[in-house]
């Protein structure tokens, strides 16, 4: 397999960042954030997912075709989320809280 080689130091730095973000997730779960609990958790999860995709799945050093394939996966995820949330938000006959 040709391409740039990754050093152990880079993998350890990414691993440390993932551990720090996991600790941040656990810490934020016990903070009184009100309506911001879900957006904060999703933002941290997106950062962790981005680190995993870029470094551990080697997308960062791949060709542009691999970037397009990975981006297409995220595009379809966004489409599914938009359709699911639009269906949920338009159901006025369901009570939001029970």
Does residue 52 sit within a domain? yes
Q: Which domain holds residue 27?
A: 8-89
pLDDT tens digits for range 4-59: 667 899 999 999 999 999 999 999 999 999 989 989 999 999 999 999 999 999 99
Does residue 35 sit within a domain? yes
User: Do residues 28 and 40 touch, judged by C-beta distance below 8 A?
Assistant: yes
Tell me, what's the pLDDT at 5? 66
> What mean pLDDT do residues 70-96 have?
86
Q: Given pLDDT bands bounded at 50, 70 and 90, which one contains residue 92?
A: confident
Total domains in the fold of the chain: 1
- pLDDT for 83 beyond 70: yes
Does residue 60 sit within a domain? yes
- pLDDT for 70 beyond 80: yes
CA distance 27 to 25: 5
Query: Whole-prediction pTM value?
Result: 0.75
Does residue 2 sit within a domain? no
Task: Name which of 41, 42, 13, 48 is nearest 27 in CA terms.
Answer: 41
Does residue 17 sit within a domain? yes
Does residue 21 sit within a domain? yes
Task: Tell me the two tokens of residue 64.
Answer: 């542009």
């Amino acid at each position: 397999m040709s391409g740039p080689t990754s050093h152990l130091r880079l993998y350890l730095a990414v691993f440390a960042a993932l551990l720090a973000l996991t600790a941040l997730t656990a810490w934020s779960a016990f903070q009184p954030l009100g309506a911001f609990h879900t957006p904060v958790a999703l933002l941290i999860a997106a950062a962790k997912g981005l680190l995993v995709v870029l470094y551990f799945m080697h997308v960062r050093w791949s060709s542009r075709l691999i970037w397009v394939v990975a981006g297409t996966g995220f595009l379809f995820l966004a489409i599914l989320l938009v359709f699911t949330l639009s269906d949920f938000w338009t159901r006025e006959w369901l009570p939001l809280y029970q």
